Structure 1
Amino acid sequence: AGVTSVDEALSVAKLIGYPVLVRPSYVLGGRAMEIVHNASELVRYMNLAIDLDTRHPVLIDKYLEGKEVEIDAVGDGERVLIPGIMEHIERAGVHSGDSMAVYPGINLTEPERETIVDYAIRIGLALKIKGLMNIQFVIMPSSATQASTVYVLEVNPRASRTIPFISKVTGVPMVNVATKVMLGKSLKEQGYSTGLWPRQKLVSIKAPVFSMSKLLGVDTYLSPEMKSTGEVMGIDYTFDAALAKALLAAGLMLLPHGAILFSIADRDKPEALAIIRKFSSIGYKLYATEGTAAMIEATGLPVTMISKKLSEGHPNVIDIINDSTVNGVVNTITGGRIPLRDGFYIRRAAAEKRIPCFTSLDTARAAVETLLNGSQTYSAQPLPDYRRKEPT
């Protein structure tokens, strides 16, 4: 729904239920998009939007916190070729350009895969796409009484940033194929049929790269607004090996042993506990801000409490980042202005020190599981060999 006042926004949000996704009417790269969890956060966002006086409504949508999946396809008006399906590690709510994407979608069920392919073909044919197309989906998990549900988030009739990635891992030269389609040569004439291209016997992961250490004053937390400036690819025969390569190349790989700082928003604390236990199990020393430390202590895990209040003595969170006491940071955000500001100092210090800083629990979980599963076990060979050779 489009709204132009705080009262309208509150009414719409109450009707569809929190959390909601709010954004300006015209955006590129998720600019100024936010996930809002309650009325006070919504009022803050709307007041900022009204102050800007863009004369365009603010759009409010229901936020679906599910698994995000995307495909790139080539259509010729009669056929739709889908080289592969990519599953995001981070759940919906992180801009697709800032997400880690996995080919093939290793956690998708066969019905989910079939639904995605069916929707993509039907959309491509209905829109008479002649060239490249990108579709993003969100899958809401199944329950005791209902199977999982696939929703279409957006359809873009253009090349996306994942075209080079999916072309390299599948061997389908998407740009060449699409260009020939646009010049009048059909998919059939090029030897391609409708549907999903045969799955390769490999795993590849696209990871974003950020330039936060070079951009002073820029916050680093992941959100619907895109912040990455590039990406890297890890490819191997197993998920763990491909993920280790992607994390290494993106500068997000943690040391096998070390210390890590946790500052977790209240709503994320229950979910974060399993991740904290995994870090503790591999011998990581735990540091945490006041509220997070209290939760960790209550579970019986050893933790050192560090103040996030920079004006109340030393050492504080910035000190232990700057003096290399910790090798990584996990910091999830809240919508309040004071917690957001406190977290900003933590995230900036980590960026300037160039140590891994995870603002999504999904990414942090993937990173610690890579350490648990043996991060140094991976192969090295030319890219085409991964497509041509059997795993050894």
Structure 2
Amino acid sequence: MKKILIANRGEIAIRVMKTAQKMGIKTVAVYSEADRNAPHVRFADEAIYIGEAPSNKSYLLGEKIIEEAKKLLVDGIHPGYGFLSENADFAELCEKNNLIFIGPKSKSIRMMGDKLAAKDAVKDYNIPMVPGVDRAVTDPIEAATIAREIGFPILIKASAGGGGKGMRIVENEKDVEEQMKRAISEATSAFGDGSVFVEKYITSPRHIEIQVLADSFGKVLHFFERECSIQRRHQKVVEEAPSSILTPALRAKMGEAAIKVAKSCDYLGAGTVEFLVDKDLNFYFLEMNTRLQVEHPVTELISGVDLVELQIKIARGEAISIEQEDLKINGHALELRVYAEDPMNNFLPSVGFLSTYKIPVGEGIRVDDGFEEGMDIPIYYDPMLSKLITYGKTREEAIQLMIKAIDAYKVEGAKTTLPFGKFVCEHEAFKSGNFDTHFVKNYYTPEKLQKGLDEEAELAALIALKLYIEDQQKLRVPDSN
């Protein structure tokens, strides 16, 4: 593999390019009109314009991307995450055009992309599942009957869903019909598929995922877990590795379950198996993401592996050279997704002109980003500016370094999730490890964040005043004239 095209933009495009270039592989960037001057375009060896700013006129044009890749004599395509990364038709189109899709085969993507098909694929592997039905339900009366059998609260969930869309928690029977209609409508609108299923809602859950890699010779390894319970609107904001609640025995058990899930769909490359863990440390299979995850850096830091490098090696037919027993957890890593969102206003997007953009630097600090000072944040794409990652020998060290890094990260021109990240890291529930996916609902309000910001500003003003007074009191030599 001499040249790869990265069918993505921003920080993940640069992240993949860095590893490719380290491996001596040429890179091709694609860009839309809005990204004409973006850093990922300059970072690549070659760049090709693929269309107008909206993603459905650029980054989602699979056939156009493949056409350009063939013109430039590209060997493989890395999809990053988002956009076409879990599009089975795009993976199949790559295969048909003799282009290596740096990811799983289209059959695996298709199977795991449908939550009902995924449940069906793994049911023979003795993997714990959340109580419920593994088929589509459209009749509210039937849903109410199922709910009575498994007990309220229940979760109505889109089969083709993701990102919290088409998902409704129902506490009692009288709300089933209305919430079913809403979930079906939302699922149809978001995914073109109104299929929903009903399962028991796990209260106080932890969201824990296992990183897996599989080669074409039948070897599947797990690279430990990531804790992803700090979320807003069912979307992750803070992730860490390892989790503070997993024992070595539970870690091994969940790792083995994740390997079985990968084998159930004849998986190839990097993937993530997601689980819910209840307060009694019972775990349940949730879904499989058939791509590289946003939060993959925390796994890289604790395991000492370059996951993108392994993806590329597997895609070009190489065997995984390490064994499960070779992998050890070293230290602790934390990641904050720095979104251009306003945490004071329900995390709504806050796009603008980056008049100031200065990233923190130092030992144990990693910033994966695709922006720079003087850029506009496009309104057309996910509003993530960067991923701020810290690494320490212990969890406490990684948390303290994250607080320090957040303070050193200067962004003006847009609101960001940096203050929220600091709020999380300083909160006793997070520091103690005693939290779940309801952290935001249970502990966070804009007023609490504002109080913390006001206290910081007051302290800074007092320090400035003290320094000023000290300066005024210094002995000054009188002018001899």
Which TM-score bucket, shorter chain as reference?
A: 0.5 to 0.7
CA distance 1:47–1:204, change in 2 (3 Å): same
CA distance in 2: counterparts of 1:47 and 1:126, whole angstroms = 33
Q: 1:101 aligns with which of 239, 256, 260?
A: 239
CA distance 1:41–1:209, change in 2 (3 Å): farther
Instruction: Give the superposition deviation at 1:256.
Output: 12
Where does residue 186 of structure 1 map in the other structure? Answer: 319
Find the structure with the greater CA-based Rg: 2
Amino acid corresponding to residue 80 of structure 1 in structure 2:
V
Q: Deviations over 1:304-355 (max 9, x none)?
A: xxxxxxxxxxxxxxxxxxxxxxxxxx9738xxxxxxxxx9xx75x889x697
Instruction: Give the superposition deviation at 1:237.
Output: 2.2
Where does residue 116 of structure 1 map in the other structure? Answer: 254
How many residues are matched? 258
Report if aligned partners of 1:84, 1:196 keep a CA contact under 8 Å in 2: no
Where does residue 389 of structure 2 map in the other structure? Answer: 233
Where does residue 154 of structure 1 map in the other structure? Answer: 287
Instruction: Give the superposition deviation at 1:154.
Output: 1.4
Question: Aligned to 2:182, what secondary structure does the other structure show?
Answer: helix
Where does residue 170 of structure 1 map in the other structure? Answer: 303
Q: How does 1:292-371 map to 2 (within 5 A)?
A: 332=441
Question: Aligned to 1:177, what secondary structure does the other structure show?
Answer: helix
Report if aligned partners of 1:117, 1:196 keep a CA contact under 8 Å in 2: no
CA distance in 1: counterparts of 2:184 and 2:318, whole angstroms = 50
Report if aligned partners of 1:101, 1:207 keep a CA contact under 8 Å in 2: yes
Where does residue 317 of structure 1 map in the other structure? Answer: none
Where does residue 29 of structure 1 map in the other structure? Answer: 163
Instruction: Give the superposition deviation at 1:112.
Output: 0.4
Where does residue 210 of structure 2 map in the other structure? Answer: 71
Q: 1:57 aligns with which of 195, 198, 201?
A: 195
Amino acid corresponding to residue 233 of structure 1 in structure 2:
I
Report if aligned partners of 1:81, 1:197 keep a CA contact under 8 Å in 2: no
Instruction: Give the superposition deviation at 1:242.
Output: 1.6
CA distance 1:106–1:58, change in 2 (3 Å): closer
Question: Aligned to 2:165, what secondary structure does the other structure show?
Answer: coil
Amino acid corresponding to residue 224 of structure 2 in structure 1:
G
Gaps of 5+ in 2: 1-132, 350-381, 407-417, 433-438, 454-481
Where does residue 119 of structure 2 map in the other structure? Answer: none
TM-score, normalising length: structure 2 = 0.45
Amino acid corresponding to residue 12 of structure 1 in structure 2:
I
Where does residue 222 of structure 2 map in the other structure? Answer: 82
CA distance 1:101–1:256, change in 2 (3 Å): closer
Report if aligned partners of 2:167, 2:183 keep a CA contact under 8 Å in 1: no
CA distance in 2: counterparts of 1:46 and 1:350, whole angstroms = 35
Report if aligned partners of 1:72, 1:162 keep a CA contact under 8 Å in 2: no
Q: How does 1:238-257 map to 2 (within 5 A)?
A: 238-246=394-402, 249=406, 250-252=418-420, 253-254=422-423
Report if aligned partners of 1:98, 1:228 keep a CA contact under 8 Å in 2: no
- Report % sequence identity: 20
Report if aligned partners of 1:133, 1:155 keep a CA contact under 8 Å in 2: yes
CA distance in 2: counterparts of 1:75 and 1:135, whole angstroms = 13
TM-score, normalising length: structure 1 = 0.54
Runs of 4+ in 1 over 4 A off after TM superposition: 49-53, 214-220, 254-257, 353-356
Where does residue 365 of structure 2 map in the other structure? Answer: none
Question: Aligned to 1:56, what secondary structure does the other structure show?
Answer: coil
CA distance 1:126–1:4, change in 2 (3 Å): closer
Q: 1:204 aligns with which of 319, 328, 333?
A: 333
Report if aligned partners of 2:157, 2:183 keep a CA contact under 8 Å in 1: no
Report if aligned partners of 1:85, 1:103 keep a CA contact under 8 Å in 2: yes
CA distance 1:88–1:45, change in 2 (3 Å): same
Where does residue 265 of structure 1 map in the other structure? Answer: none
Amino acid corresponding to residue 206 of structure 1 in structure 2:
E
Question: Aligned to 1:119, what secondary structure does the other structure show?
Answer: helix
Report if aligned partners of 2:207, 2:275 keep a CA contact under 8 Å in 1: yes
Instruction: Give the superposition deviation at 1:63.
Output: 1.8
CA distance 1:122–1:5, change in 2 (3 Å): closer
Where does residue 138 of structure 1 map in the other structure? Answer: 276
Where does residue 150 of structure 2 map in the other structure? Answer: 16
Q: Deviations over 1:124-182 (max 9, x none)?
A: 3343322111111223344xxxxx43322112332222223322443201111121112
CA distance 1:255–1:177, change in 2 (3 Å): closer
Instruction: Give the superposition deviation at 1:193.
Output: 1.3
Report if aligned partners of 1:82, 1:196 keep a CA contact under 8 Å in 2: no
Report if aligned partners of 2:137, 2:195 keep a CA contact under 8 Å in 1: yes
Report if aligned partners of 1:234, 1:244 keep a CA contact under 8 Å in 2: no
CA distance 1:45–1:246, change in 2 (3 Å): farther
Question: Aligned to 1:108, what secondary structure does the other structure show?
Answer: coil
Report if aligned partners of 1:22, 1:60 keep a CA contact under 8 Å in 2: yes
Instruction: Give the superposition deviation at 1:115.
Output: 0.3
CA distance 1:86–1:217, change in 2 (3 Å): closer
CA distance 1:64–1:256, change in 2 (3 Å): closer
Instruction: Give the superposition deviation at 1:84.
Output: 2.9
Report if aligned partners of 2:154, 2:199 keep a CA contact under 8 Å in 1: yes
Report if aligned partners of 2:274, 2:286 keep a CA contact under 8 Å in 1: yes
CA distance 1:27–1:121, change in 2 (3 Å): closer
Report if aligned partners of 1:121, 1:195 keep a CA contact under 8 Å in 2: no
CA distance in 2: counterparts of 1:140 and 1:215, whole angstroms = 30
CA distance 1:116–1:7, change in 2 (3 Å): same
CA distance in 1: counterparts of 2:187 and 2:257, whole angstroms = 38
Greater relative contact order (CA < 8 Å, ≥ 6 in sequence):
1
Question: Aligned to 1:112, what secondary structure does the other structure show?
Answer: helix
CA distance in 2: counterparts of 1:162 and 1:62, whole angstroms = 27
CA distance in 1: counterparts of 2:303 and 2:341, whole angstroms = 32
